[in-house]
Structure 1
């Protein structure tokens, strides 16, 4: 009989498998793409993400591998482990994962490995032999609740920090310093969480998903607020600091702006726009939905600087247009929907929708005949450079 198997080799399953494999060389790891053949194992570790068919999936794996004990490491709704145990008639426990994804292997051995359910001495020996520090509790619902509650509590703290940053604006860093000063003079039981490097999301994907699972079983207004902030975060602009973005700029949903970019007064950016690093986009530029602006793209609004704001010209980038790295765009032009501008081009006139232009100054490219139907140019198109 094989010692065990790990089902699911993702962000948590792979490091768990590596730890167990070092202690038990005959451990098997399987994922969706892994060829599977039936054989009996002593321990089956389940690390697949929760979904509507989670229970049925685990039951199928139990039938295939006939484990003596099944260990559910996944974060699941309360009562899931007991449901699997009753349906299968097999021994099933719940042992949630603790740790950060980017250092999961180290954290798995750092924290105690909580196991909820009946105490199986052979499982304790199995986990202890791999280096885990085991902590037992008699009910699977206890560990299921612990994991969901702890993640939701973290989400509540993050949601409040987001609210605090939104309310305080540039003064938010003072709030972090305030809490850091406080933490220097109190015990660990009174420490305040400090989020001095807030991102645009409410924690990792697991925080949002698992807060939602808990809220479905135990509805609570606080959790509603966490999920509200999470939904706002999912569509909020992703701005990679440092950037200089004027407050009057109008930026749509699901926008990404690369570091060291400048977005000027009254610039309008639609939804689902991607802007690379070091882009310069001054007042008068309108970028419609789904456009792609490469790194170091430079727009201008003044044809004969400095001519005065009354002579500035607007530039329009239409829906789905793509502009390659290092392109310079003259003020007052319109780049049509779905147009493609090759890297390093200098755009001096309007570009019709759907066309591909490149060069200095940019000119229309002829369609090639290769299998990928990529745009290419003829020698004549570059005659102006000779």
Structure 2
């Protein structure tokens, strides 16, 4: 039941480590951090101050590449970096080459792939998936089981409801042409997407736009408008009291 800690790991004396943890070579763990039971922290990972990494997580995993994978690259990746005060729920999988900023919360069973950036104070819900080469801003909320496909961008203060699905392949796995055209959606600052909505490849959703639950977004959406339906269509303006600029938590 004892843990394995590589001799080259740099761990502050104030760090707490549970049973059966494995901490590999050149890992850095700063003061006040709590490491749960059965956690594996891979070589070179950097963990900030006052973080919590719950039971059964794998931190800093290298990606595996399927022979016919179109978005996973074989390349050297930088170490995974967790900022200060990051909370990682149980059974999460965080990949090498990703940077997670201060005060981020990651729910149980979440998966965050390589080459991802996540800004400060963002919440990643239970079972959510953030695929590779995606960029998530600050003060974003991505709820339970949402799927953020590779090469997506979500700007600050966006809200992504449960089981929203992003897509990035216009050709659904056919033709070599598709490999040069992969692009996930871009969600501009303050936009909100309702539960079970599907966003097609390369779509741009404007600032403070709102997409209703169950909608399918097939074209770019204008800022500060409400869209619903299959395909999503404009129905009215976002009410003034709901605009991001009028929220008490907004810091321009």
TM-score tier by shorter-chain length is 0.5 to 0.7
Deviation at 1:297, TM superposition (A): 0.4
Residue 318 to residue 261, structure 1, CA distance change in 2 (3 Å): same
Task: Return 5+ residue gaps in structure 1 as ranges.
Answer: 1-155, 166-170, 176-192, 205-230, 375-386
Assess, with a 3 A threshold, how the Cα gap between structure 1 residues 253 and 197 changes in structure 2: closer, same or farther: farther
| Alignment partner, residue 15 of structure 2 | 160
Match of 1:173 in 2: 21
Out of 142, 158, 165, the position equivalent to 1:298 is 165
Match of 1:281 among 141, 148, 166: 148
Taking only aligned residues, the RMSD between alpha carbons, in angstroms, comes to: 3.5
Task: Figure out how many residues of one structure are paired with residues of the other and give that number.
Answer: 166
Aligned 8 A contact 1:367 1:373 in 2: no
**C-alpha separation in 1, matches of 2:238 and 2:130:** 36
> Any unmatched runs of 5+ in structure 2?
1-11, 24-33, 40-47, 53-82, 87-101, 244-252
Aligned-partner Cα distance in 1 for 2:187–2:51: 34
Shift of 1:253: 1.1
Instruction: Give 3-state SS (helix, strand or coil) of 2:85's partner.
Output: helix
TM-score with structure 2 length normalisation? 0.57
Distance 1:286 1:356 in 2: 20
Match of 1:315 among 176, 182, 185: 185
User: 1 CA distance for matches of 2:208 and 2:242?
Assistant: 16
Report which of the two has the higher share of strand: 2
SS of the aligned residue for 2:214 comes to coil
How far apart, in 1, do the equivalents of 2:129 and 2:197 lie? Answer: 15
1:326 match: 196
Among 108, 123, 143, the alignment partner of 1:256 is 123
Matched, 1:196 2:44: no
Instruction: Please identify which structure carries the higher helix content.
Output: 1
Q: Deviations over 1:133-183 (max 9, x none)?
A: xxxxxxxxxxxxxxxxxxxxxxx86x524xx79xxxxx97236xxxxxxxx
**Distance in 2, Cα, partners of 1:272 & 1:368:** 20
Write out per-residue CA displacement over residues 274-297 of structure 1, whole angstroms, 9 at most, x where no aligned residue.
Answer: 000111111121001111111100
TM-score scaled by structure 1? 0.38
Paired with 1:278 and 1:340, the residues of 2 have a C-alpha distance of: 19
CA contact (8 A) 2:117 2:136 kept: yes
Which residue of structure 1 lines up, in the alignment, with residue 56 of structure 2? none
Q: How does 1:187-266 map to 2 (within 5 A)?
A: 195-196=36-37, 202=50, 232-233=84-85, 235-266=102-133
Larger C-alpha radius of gyration, 1 or 2?
1
